[in-house]
């Protein structure tokens, strides 16, 4: 009788795994025998194990790549946020938002408040959750975003740049308000916001109340048009309190 499963030729196996681009399984061929014997798993279970191994490896690679592309200035997590210190935002509401329905629904999140109250931390924390769930995220400080759009003005590629930014599922724009915009920057920002409207999700942080946003734009009509679109489907969190950065100075010294 002709055997259908001949003994494996190791080189041929590696070449086959390479051709099928099964990079993660390719990393463990020497362990496979050991794992199979130790686990005493059924053949189908073992095949499932190998497939899962490859799938999980690919998910991890993609997550790492997406994390790099997101360009977070640092990693902050929702779990490391102290909701006792910052109690003007509900832990439950933020945990609900971490389920990320807002991304599928193309809703925006806006964190307002003075320096150090946790706006960027929460924005990055939610962005990080989105990366873990497989979404594409891009973090911009407002200044960098405006510079980026401005630099594409020279070769007439602003529209293309806006389209590239909008390829992400979630765009975080941090620190809106620390820098005012001239006419061109206001137009660019409007272009981005109006194209993102009802098609993408934005998380925006700002030290300014909406009433003060008029001062940021070249005209109050652009400010109104931007706010109208941003706020139509938005979760707004006005954060209050002292800066977390200087909290240690507020703790009374004990003997
Ligand atoms: N409630 C909190 N729990 C844990 N860490 C916090 C909390 N609030 C702020 N922090 C930490 O304090 C620092 C400042 O917070 P963050 O950068 O989020 O402030 P911000 O509101 O964005 O301020 P700014 O307007 O100056 O940018 C960060 O290192 C952040 O991780
Ligand atoms: Mg900040």
- CA 123/CA 81 separation, integer angstroms: 11
Tokens of 1: 């009788």
Q: What is the mean pLDDT of residues 61-84?
A: 96
Q: What is the mean pLDDT of residues 230-251?
A: 89
| Percentage, residues of the chain above pLDDT 90 | 81
pLDDT of 138 higher than 50: yes
- Residue 126's pLDDT band, with cuts at 50, 70 and 90, is very high
**Ligand 1 pocket, residue 244 CB under 6 Å:** yes
In tens, the pLDDT along 207-238 reads 999 999 999 999 999 999 999 999 999 999 99
- Point out the ligand nearest to the CA of residue 78: 1
**Ligand 1 pocket, residue 81 CB under 6 Å:** yes
pLDDT of 252 higher than 80: no
**Ligand 1 pocket, residue 120 CB under 6 Å:** yes
pLDDT of 255 higher than 60: no
- Point out the ligand nearest to the CA of residue 113: 1
At 196, is the secondary structure helix, strand, or coil? helix
| Percentage, residues of the chain above pLDDT 70 | 96
**Ligand 1 pocket, residue 121 CB under 6 Å:** yes
Domain boundaries, the chain: 10-70, 91-246
pLDDT at 106: 98
- CA 129/CA 8 separation, integer angstroms: 42
For ligand 2, the distance from its centroid to the CA atom of residue 65, given in whole angstroms, is 24
Q: Report pTM.
A: 0.89
- Residue 1's pLDDT band, with cuts at 50, 70 and 90, is low
- CA 64/CA 57 separation, integer angstroms: 11
CATH fold of the domain at 91-246: Rossmann fold (3.40.50)
Asked if 96 and 129 count as a contact pair (C-beta separation under 8 A), the reply is no
Q: What is the mean pLDDT of residues 46-62?
A: 94
For ligand 2, the distance from its centroid to the CA atom of residue 43, given in whole angstroms, is 53
pLDDT of 251 higher than 80: no
- Point out the ligand nearest to the CA of residue 126: 1
**Ligand 1 pocket, residue 77 CB under 6 Å:** no
Which of 74, 87, 112, 117 to mutate for ligand 1's pocket (most ligand atoms within 8 Å of CB)? Answer: 117
């Amino acid at each position: 009788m002709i055997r259908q499963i001949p003994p494996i030729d190791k080189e041929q196996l590696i070449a086959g795994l390479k051709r099928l681009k099964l990079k993660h399984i390719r990393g463990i061929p020497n362990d496979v025998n050991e794992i199979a014997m130790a686990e005493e798993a059924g053949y189908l279970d073992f095949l499932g194990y190998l497939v899962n191994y490859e799938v999980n490896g690919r998910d991890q690679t993609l997550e790492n790549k997406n994390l790099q592309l997101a360009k977070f200035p640092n990693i902050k997590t929702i779990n490391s946020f102290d909701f006792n210190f910052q109690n003007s935002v509900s832990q439950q509401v933020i945990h609900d938002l971490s389920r990320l329905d807002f991304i599928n629904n193309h809703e925006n999140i806006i964190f307002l408040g003075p320096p150090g109250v946790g706006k960027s931390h929460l924005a990055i924390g939610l962005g990080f959750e989105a990366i873990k769930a497989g979404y594409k995220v891009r973090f911009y400080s407002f200044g960098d975003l405006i510079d980026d759009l401005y630099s594409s003005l020279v070769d007439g590629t602003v529209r293309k740049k806006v389209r590239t930014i909008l390829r992400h599922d979630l765009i975080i724009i941090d620190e809106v308000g620390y820098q005012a915009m001239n006419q061109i920057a206001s137009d660019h920002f409007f272009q981005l916001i109006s194209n993102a409207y009802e098609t993408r999700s934005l998380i925006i942080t700002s030290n300014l109340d909406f009433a003060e946003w008029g001062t940021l734009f070249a005209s109050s009509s652009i400010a109104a048009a931007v706010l109208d679109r941003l706020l139509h489907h938005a979760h707004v969190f006005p954060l209050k309190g002292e800066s977390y950065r200087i909290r240690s100075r507020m703790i009374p010294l004990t003997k």
